[in-house]
A and B are shown apart, each in its own frame.
Chain A
């Protein structure tokens, strides 16, 4: 779908960094289920990075 490496890098970077930023208030509020959802997004961004050759 995305032929441009730059676009893929940008999507992965924004996914991981946005999820990481949201993890702070989620942890402060003790929202464990939200934390795991956000962790899932971080892992998804990381797997996307692995696919960029």
Chain B
């Protein structure tokens, strides 16, 4: 099959999803089902996928789906535990006294707090946790999903305790000293642009003009700290975590800078506020304790799901090597930490007398009812992505793009990473699938490998937040289930601007350091 035909055929499932979600405003479950059926038909008819390949691809997709759903179900449970106790309402009523500025509230919760959560946990938690908080503050459900989605993209590669960056190193065999500088620089610059974008999504251009200096200052602190920790100190696994933490420390006083201090009457009662926030304090403390204390992490991390998958090949000769899934450590997984936090928060709220009779039953039944549609969408889309990967469709898209663009490859490299992340909803998966291809193409074109790989992971990080699977997470927790197309339409313009920025930076970097 000619390259162009392969690429166009392989692109069809993505186009189907985009058209159905963006053009016809279908929900993610139906659009994902249509995309999956398109991918399956093309994989069998044109890419030579046989029974064995499809069987292992679907089993692998189920494992990946569990990995994702573990967080979604637990994140929504935590939200319902807090909401049933009236905590979301209490926080929503209290935060405006810290700052009444809507743009600043978006910065604090949708950018800085979401980035901190990405650094410590990730895997969809930032949007799932902060969207309901923003809705409680009076933001529209659409804005409540878009703001944290845009806000945490810069922190994805070095977030989740460095899992995506680790995948980049594993796929290429290169070390952190080679790969971290470019990636941290590109994502640090993206952080600077992200702040004004968050304010724009919350409060329009007026907000951007009013809060531009504060947003740039916070972005500078978060991006610089991530760079210093990941590159200078070599602690790439906590780069985004420390960046987010530094952002939290500087943004609270900055929120009140230039405004009169609230009077005693305006200040919220501290005890109810602290009780309401306890679910999130518990989440942060548990995340730090479980993931950053090696003894606890190693001990709890021994129980895992790790399944071996044999080598598969298509009738056209495309081979997927044998391997295992990314181990799902059941007791240290981000979903597990959310479950622990939910249980402890439930006890705290119950002891504080915040629950009416039957609260536990209401929390559980509403959680199950709410997340089923999202669970189905994710199952369909992950299956589509894995079938495409294993049948060689994903590679056909990447190779077709690389061959077609030649010398313009530096500008295209971030988009290849972005496509991988958009399809799989994961910076990590995109790096696993495309990093070796990007490295080889850079070598063939005599371009700097570290810069092209920085473009790969930065593009993937910034696009992963707009992936349908991620959008479903945020939409389901903000009351936008079934309206994922609206979210994608609002989010995609910010994502495209950020990836264009990475394209420009990559091109400039190649010109300077070729």
Contact = CB atoms under 8 A, between A and B. Distances in A.
B92 to A, nearest CB: 28
A36 B58 CA distance: 12
A21 B434 CA distance: 27
Interface of B: 29-30, 32-34, 36-37, 40, 51-52, 54-56, 58-59, 61-62, 65, 307, 369, 372-373, 375-376, 379-380, 383
A50 B59 contact: no
B372 A6 contact: yes
A30 to B, nearest CB: 8
Contact of A36 (B51, B61, B380): B51
A43 B33 CA distance: 9
A49 B383 contact: no
Nearest to A4: B369
Nearest to B312: A27
Contact of A32 (B51, B61, B369, B383): B51
Contact of A46 (B37, B55, B61): B37
22 contacts: A9-B29, A9-B373, A12-B376, A13-B375, A13-B376, A16-B376, A21-B62, A23-B56, A26-B55, A27-B59, A30-B52, A35-B52, A39-B55, A39-B58, A42-B383, A43-B37, A46-B33, A46-B380, A47-B33, A49-B32, A49-B33, A52-B30
Which of A21, A46, A53 is the most central at the interface, judged by chain B CB atoms within 10 Å of its CB? A46
A27 B36 contact: no
Contact of A35 (B33, B40, B51): B51
4 closest A-B pairs by CB = A27-B55, A24-B59, A23-B55, A49-B33
A26 B55 CA distance: 8
A9 B376 contact: yes
A53 B33 CA distance: 13
Interface residues of A, number: 29
Given A35-B51, A35-B52, A49 B62 contact: no
Given A20-B62, A36-B51, A49-B29, A27 B376 contact: no
B33 A20 contact: no
A35 B29 contact: no
Interface of A: 5-6, 9-10, 12-13, 16-17, 19-21, 23-24, 26-27, 30, 32, 35-36, 38-39, 42-43, 46-47, 49-50, 52-53
Given A12-B376, A17-B379, A35 B30 contact: no
B51 A13 contact: no
A49 B380 contact: yes
B52 A27 contact: yes
A16 B379 contact: yes
Nearest to B56: A27
B30 A6 contact: no
A21 to B, nearest CB: 6
Contacts of B62: 17, 20-21
Contacts of A52: 29-30
B59 A21 contact: yes
A24 B379 contact: no
Contacts of A35: 51-52, 54-55
Given A35-B52, A49-B30, A52-B30, A23 B376 contact: no
Which of A32, A49, A53 is the most central at the interface, judged by chain B CB atoms within 10 Å of its CB? A49
A20 B61 contact: yes
Given A10-B372, A13-B375, A23 B58 contact: yes
Contacts of B36: 46
A9 B372 contact: yes
A39 to B, nearest CB: 6
Nearest to A19: B58
A49 B381 CA distance: 12
A24 B55 contact: yes
A10 B59 CA distance: 19
Nearest to A42: B58
A50 B31 CA distance: 8
A24 to B, nearest CB: 4
Contacts of B380: 16, 46, 49
Given A9-B375, A47-B33, A53-B30, 19 more contacts: A6-B369, A9-B376, A13-B372, A13-B376, A16-B379, A20-B58, A20-B61, A20-B62, A21-B62, A23-B59, A24-B55, A27-B59, A32-B52, A36-B51, A39-B54, A39-B55, A46-B33, A46-B37, A52-B30
Contacts of A43: 37, 40
Contacts of B30: 49-50, 52-53
A1 B383 CA distance: 28
B369 A17 contact: no
Contacts of A38: 55
Contacts of B375: 9, 13
A46 B51 CA distance: 18
A14 B64 CA distance: 16
Contacts of B307: 24
Nearest to A39: B54
Nearest to B40: A43
Contacts of A21: 59, 62
A28 B55 CA distance: 9
Contacts of B379: 13, 16-17
